[in-house]
Structure 1
C-alpha cells in the first residue's frame, strides 16, 4: 500500500467522510503551526493524532541519511530522549526500506517484509502501522502508530491517514528544516534542486551551475591568507659605493662587475703623474726654505729666519696634502665581497670628476630584499610580516622573507608610484647573488577569496564614484 505524495480525488467517498478528513487536517496543521519550535510541534502532532485515532502510542522519526532518528512520541515531553527504543527505530527503518506503508497484522492478507514490526507487536501486543512521510517525492520521515488489544487498523482508515499525512508531512519537514544549521539547509536545497534537474534535459547545466554557485559561495565566505606582491631584487646587506676622491684620469681598472674581491684588493687606479711632479716641486721648495732658514740663523737675521721658517712650514703642509692625495689615487676594496656595479674597462684614460661613482662592492655574507609595493597596497604592509620570494634565476625555489622596514617615501618606477619595502631573508641559498630579481609575496592577513580578487576593482570604482560625485 504505497504512501501517496498528493491527495487523490475519490468521487465515491461520501461528503461526510470528506468533511471529517478536512477537519482532521485542519486540526493537525493548527497544532503543528501553533507550536514554538520543531520539538513541541512534533510532540503536539503525534499526541493529537493518537487522540483522534484512538492509538496507544504514536511516534515520529526523521530520516537522517539511511537511518531514522526518533524525535517525538505521543503524550511525551517535547524534546524527550526517545532514541533508546531500538525496536521502534528498527520498525521505522524497515518502513523506509520498503518505501510503502507497513501494517502488522496486514489488513489485506500476508504482510510485506515486516520482521521488525512483528517484533514490536509481540512486545506490546495488538497491531502496528508505519506510514512514510513524503516531501517532493522523497521520504523524509516515518509515523508509527500502535494499538493494543484486538482493535486493528482497517484499510479505509489507513488510506485516509495516508491522505492526511501527505499534506501535513511537508509542513512538519519544513519546521524541522528551519532549525537545522545553515550548511545543512543549503545542502538540502541543492539536493532537491539537483533531483528536479534529473527529470529534464538540463541536468548537466544545472549541475555545472550548482558547482559554480558553490565555488562562488566558498570564495565569498571562506577566509584565506591574502598576499600582496611586487617586483623584488636581492642586494647585499652591506653595500659600499666607491667614488673618485680627486679629479683626474683613469689609469687602470682591475675588476669588473661580478668579480669577487678581498679586503684591501686594488680595484681602480687614477693617474698620478701630475701629483708626483707637484710632490717633487714641493720637496725642492721645502729644501730651499730650510736652507734659507739655516743661513738666516747663522747671520743672526731673526726676521729672515722667521719668514723662511713660515714658508718651510707651508711647503711641508702642501707636501703632506699631496701625499694624502697620492694615497687616494688607488681605490681598494673595503671588505670581502663582490663587485655589483661599475664596468670601467672601456673607460681607461677618460677623465673623472671629484665624487664620481666608480665601482660598487656588496657583501656576500648576508643579503636583503627590496620589494616594490604599489601605493594602493602599502597600507596592508607592516614590519614583521612574513612572505616568500621567487627569483627569476631560481623559479622552483621559494625563499622565506620577513619585512624589516617600510620606506615612508614613494618613488616612481616603470611609470607607477611605489614604496620600497626592505625585507630580510630567513633562509640561505648558496646560489644567491646580488642583483637577482624576481617576485615577492607578503602576507596581508586573512580575507575571503572573493574580497581579495575584487579589492582592486572595488577601490577603483569607489575612487571613480568619489571623483564624479564627491560621495564618500
Structure 2
C-alpha cells in the first residue's frame, strides 16, 4: 500500500474541481519521499521541483510561465509541513489564478490532514479513506460506528460530537435514523457529556461499583448491557467526539480492553477528520442560511420596489379617453323612390358608384305610355281638324264644344309627358350609392313610393359612435377626440361630439348609446360606410382607475 493514499485522493478531488488544472503534483522537500501526481504516471519535468522548492523556501505562492499559454503555480502547504502543491494551469488569466489560490486556502486543512494520516504510524488509511468517501458527516459517522460494532463484536456502538459545550448523539450502529428525544438516547447523551467532562476513557462491567459513572451505568440499566465503554476521540488536546460501546452476554474484559487499545491507535486521526467535516458542514450551513437570508432580503426588496413602482405608475394621471365602435356616414342622405307604378326596365348604377346630381340611375318601361301618347296626338289632330271645320261653317256652338275637347286632350297629353319624364329615375343629389344592388330586379313590378336607391353625399361626413352605457355619463357635447378607420389605420382624424341620443340599442350583446360626432372639415379618401374606432377625451385619470375602474363600478352595482 502506498504511503500517499489520502494525499492522492485529496489531489485528485482538488484538480477535478478546478477545470483549469491539467496536472497536479504534491512535492516534498525530502527527496526520499516520492511526489504524488495527478493524473497518475503523468510526465513531470524539473521545473516543477525548482518551483516547489522556491515556494517552500519563501512560504509564498510562486508563479512561472510554462510553454506558450500554460502557467505553473506552486503553493506551500503550511509552515509546519515540507510539502508544496504545484499545478499546471491552461490559463494565465489573473482571475483564474486568484480563484485557484482561494480554493486551495479553503482545502489546505484537508491536505495537511491527509499528509498527517499518510505519515502517521499505526493509523488506518483504509478507514480514513472510507470515511472521506462518504458524502456527508452523518454517513461518515454511521460508517464508523458500524465498522467498530463489527470489529469489536458490540451489541451497539454510539457516536456523539461535541460543539464545545455539549454532546449531540450523531449515529447509532445499524440505525439509519433514530429519535434523540427518547429516554434511552437522552441517557446516552448524558453519558457522553459525562465522559467529556471526565476527559478520559472509562470501562464499566455490570454489577461493579459505578459511583463515578452514574450516567454510563444508567445506559446499562436501560439497555441491559453487561459491559460498557466510553472512548474519547481527540483533535490535538481537545476531545471532539465520544464513543459509547455496549456488549451483552459474557465478555472477557481483558481481551476487549486490548482490542480497544489497538482500535484507539487506529482511530487517532479520526477525531480530527470528524472535526473538519463538522466545521465544513457548519460553514456550509451558515453559508446556505446567509444565501437564503440574502436571497429572501433581495427578493423582498425587489418585490417592494416593484410594488412601489406599480403603485406610482397606477397613481400617475394620464389623458382618459372613452372608446367605441364608429361608423362613417354622409351628412346628407337621400332616398330615390318609384314615383309611379310600373315595371323596372333598366338599372344603370350599383352600390358604391359615384353619381352626379341629375344623373340617370334607372329606367322604367315607357312602351304603354308612348303608345297612349301617339293615340292622344292622333285624337288631338282630329279634334283640331273638326274645330277648324266648325269655324269655317260658322257653327259656333259646335266649335266651342270641340275646343273643350281639345283642351281636355292637351291636358291628358301633358300628363303623359310628365309620366314619361318620371319614368327616368335620376339622382337628386351628387354622392355615392350606399343601398343594396337592384340590378337583379330588372322587370320587377314597382309600387309607387318603393325605395330604389339610397345616395349619401360626399361633400361632408358625420361619425356615429356607439358608446357603452357604463361610460355615457362621462360624455358631453363639445368634447373632442379622434377617429381611426380600419381602412386608414395610419391616420387619426379629429372629431367633436355634437349630439348624444337618449335612446339606447343593443350591439353585440352590449347596451350602447348612439353618439353623433362631426368632423372639422373636408377629409380626403373617405367613403360612407367606413368603420373604425372613435376615442373621445373626457379629461385625466390615474392609470389605476383606467385599468380597474370598470371592475370597481361593477362591484358597486352588484355588491350593495
TM-score w.r.t. the length of structure 2 is 0.43
Greater relative CO (CA pairs within 8 A, separation 6+): 1
TM-score (norm 1): 0.50
